[in-house]
Amino acid sequence: MLPYGRQTIEDDDIDAVVRVLRGDWLTTGPTVAELEQQLSLLSGGHDAVTCTSGTAALHIAYAMAGVGPGDQVITTPMTFVATASSASLLGAEVVFADVEEDTALLDPAAVASAVTDRTRVIAAVDYAGHTADYKRLGKIAADAGALTLADAAHSIGGLHHGRPVGDLADITTFSFFPTKNVTTGEGGAAIFKDADLARQAREFRGVGVVRDPSRLRISDEGPWHQEVHAFGLNYRLNDIGCALGLSQLARLSDFKARRAAIVERYNQAFSGVEGIRTPTRREGVDPMWHLYPARILGGRRREVFERMREAGIGVQVNYIPAYWHPAYEDLGYRRGMCPNAEAFYAEELSLPLYPTLADADVDRIIETLIDILDRPRRAEGAPRRATH
C-alpha cells in the first residue's frame, strides 16, 4: 500500500540521533536548546518552547493564554480534534466558526459574528499547509481583547506575504508527528511573541519547577533548591527527538520544494478533469503543503476512497468536522452548525504527498484516480480520457 504520508529519514538523521545516544544527555540537555534556537530563527525570532507533541503544544498555548472555565475559544471544525479538545479540557466553551468555502480555512467573517466579551482565543488552523488570514483575525482578536493562535501543525516553513509561519499569530503551535513536514518521532513546539508567556510555558512543560535564584521564595536552602509556584506537567521533549528535529530542519527547504513540485504535478494533471476540484491557493501565500486535499464531486468520495485503496493507494480523509465527534455531541453540539465545513468534508480526499514520493508513483496515483472518475462514462461507451 502506497501511504498517503510518511516520514523522510536519511543517514544524517540516524547519525544525529546516534551522537546523542553516545553522549551525556538524553534529555534536558543542550540539543533541546539548540532546536529551540533554530525554531526561533525560523519563526521570526520569537521564543520557541519544545514539548512532547502537537497536542501538548496546544494545551500549553491555551494554558498560557489563561483559558479556563467561563472563557470562549473560537476555532475551526476542519481540523484534528486536538485543536478544540485542548481548550475544552481547560474548561473553556469551544465555539466552532465556519470555514471559507474554497480554502477550508477559518472564515474571519464567521469569527466576527461569533465573538463575545468572553472570547479569550481565536484559534485558526493552517489547513493543508496554507496559512489562514491572520491579519483579519488579528484585528478581530485585538478588538475583543483576545489572542490569536495559529495551529501550524501543517505549515512549518510556510510564508504569508513574506512573513514566516510563527510570526503571524500571538502564539503558534507546531507538530512533529512522523507524517508532518518535520519530525522528531513524536513532538511539538509552541512559539510565543510574549517573552513572559514563553518563560511560563517552559516552567509549565517542566512540571512547574522554578530554578531561577532571583525568583525563589525560600531563601535559606542550599544550591540544590528548586520550587513549584504553579502546577505544570512533564511535557519535555528529549534530546534524542531534538537531534532528529535539527537534522530534519536542515532539509526543510528541500522538503518544501519537493512537496510543491508534487502539488503542481497534481494540479496540472487534474486541471479540467470532471469530478475533481483542486486546492485553492491565495495570492501572497507560499504554502508548506502538508496535504493535497482534492475534492471529489458528485457524491462519489467514498466510492473513490475505496477504489483507490483497492488499487494500493493510501488516500485519507482530513477531517471529520470536530463537533461531529461523540464527545462534542454529548455536550450538545449538532450537525449543520458549519455548512461550508460539512460540505468540504463530504468531498475531501487527501492524495499521497511526501518528499520521497517518486514521480512514477505520482503518475500512478494520477492515472488511477482519473480512470476511476472516468469509469462510469466509459461503461456507457464513451471514449477513455487521455491521461497525463
Strand 159-160: give its sheet, edge to edge: 163-164, 159-160, 285-286
pLDDT in tens, 253-263: 999 999 999 99
- Measured CA to CA, the distance from residue 130 to residue 242 in angstroms comes to 26
**Is 154:54 a contact under the CB 8 Å cutoff?**
no
**In this structure, is the dihedral angle defined by the CA atoms of residues 104, 108, 112 and 117, taken in order, positive or negative?**
positive
Mean pLDDT for the stretch of residues 247-252: 98
Q: Residue 103 to residues 78, 129, 222: CA-CA distances in angstroms?
A: 11, 11, 58
pLDDT given for residue 375 in this prediction: 82
DSSP letter (8 states) at residue 232: -
Length of the chain (residues): 388
Q: What is the pLDDT of residue 376?
A: 67
Report the half-sphere exposure of 140 (CA within 13 A, side-chain side).
26
Q: Give the E-state strand segments of 252-384 in sequence order.
A: 276-277, 285-286, 292-296, 348-351
Which CATH entry fits the domain spanning 11-249: 3.90.190.20, 3.40.640.10, 3.10.20.90, 3.40.50.2300? 3.40.640.10
Tell me, yes or no, if the two domains 11-249 and 252-379 fold the same way. no
How far apart are the C-alpha atoms of 98 and 95, rounded to whole Å? 10
pLDDT band at 2 (very low <50, low <70, confident <90, very high): very high
Q: What is the mean pLDDT of residues 169-173?
A: 99
Name the grid cell of 371.
480512470
Query: What ranges do the domains of the chain cover?
Result: 11-249, 252-379
Task: Identify which of 335, 237, 353 has the alpha carbon closest to the alpha carbon of residue 287.
Answer: 353
How would you classify the pairing of strands 72-75 and 119-125? parallel
pLDDT digits (tens, 9 = 90+) for 12-66: 999 999 999 999 999 999 999 999 999 999 999 999 999 999 999 999 999 999 9
Q: List, in sequence order, every beta strand (DSSP E) within the chain.
A: 47-51, 72-75, 93-96, 119-125, 147-151, 159-160, 163-164, 171-175, 188-192, 209-210, 227-228, 276-277, 285-286, 292-296, 348-351
- Predicted local distance difference test score (pLDDT) of residue 380: 42
Q: Indicate the average pLDDT of the chain.
A: 96
Nearest residue to 66 (alpha-carbon basis) of 85, 90, 33: 90
CATH topology of domain 252-379: Aspartate Aminotransferase, domain 1 (3.90.1150)
